[in-house]
Amino acid sequence: MQVIEWSQFLEEAPLKENASAVTVGVFDGVHRGHRALIEKIVSHNKHAAPVVITFVQSHHKKARSKGYPGDILSFRQKISIFESLGVSLTIVITFSESFRRMSGAEFLQILLDHGNMVFMAVGSNFRCGYQLDTDAPAIQQYNARQNIPTSIVQSLTEGAEPISSSQIRTAIAAGKLQAASAMLGYPFTVDLAGASVVQAGSGNAFDIAGQGRILPPPGRYPAVLLNSDKNTRKPAEILVEGGSIIIGDGLAGMYPEYVEFIP
């Protein structure tokens, strides 16, 4: 899978000669609802490249708001999941002031002009543009005038609640990891790579909150430690404390890069 920045997409128009099926979103967690959306563009047409447009989350307005508990996934986790789902190109937007002021119609026209878009899929609650001026039905209508079909994908539910990244964050923050994993469709997993590390007693403390990511409440949790390719798995009890994951010694030379919480 190729990953490029929005500016590169505008300058180079890598899709000008190839049709694309597009979806857009932050996609934090890449949960079951997100996967249903991505499956739409992947399965649409074998001749249309599946393209995801997403954001560098730490620059997104949600991540700057007070009370935001942190992202569910690291950026590399998100990109890895996109690739596993069959996405061929990810376009990454840094949420700049100029982008913030772009209307929804301007954004859609750029996708048509630079991305050779032939199909689009959006969530039913999706909105884009300056002050969120364009909702899913308006996107569908705008694209229809260009003869571009648009699929509006309804939210999935878990129990009586719609699945959303905010619901998953609420579950994680409350220590309800079984509920979070059910909505995600996989165990809640924390990426350790890039986190600052300090010695904590006989183990190491990985500062996850410092990277703007969420953790469950302080306490001890059963987990599985994974190496970079996730082929080596080691059961362990880890400690969450002060925004960090603390892993004791006794790893027998293993250098874990992920912590998978056991629901």
Mean pLDDT, rounded, of the chain: 90
Between 99 and 138, the higher pLDDT residue: 138
Q: What is the mean predicted confidence (pLDDT) over 90-113?
A: 90
| pLDDT, tens only, 154-169 | 999 998 889 999 999 9
- pTM of the full predicted structure? 0.91
Between 106 and 12, the higher pLDDT residue: 106
Q: Name the DSSP class of 28.
A: T
CB 9 within 8 A of CB 114: yes
Q: How many CA atoms lie within 13 A of 150 on its CB side?
A: 23
User: What's the confidence (pLDDT) of residue 57?
Assistant: 63
User: What's the confidence (pLDDT) of residue 232?
Assistant: 81
CB 22 within 8 A of CB 150: no
CB 88 within 8 A of CB 52: no
| pLDDT, tens only, 209-262 | 999 999 999 999 999 999 887 778 899 999 999 999 999 876 656 678 999 999
User: What's the confidence (pLDDT) of residue 92?
Assistant: 96
pLDDT higher than threshold 60 for residue 86:
yes
Choose among 86, 99, 84, 94: nearest CA to 54.
Answer: 94
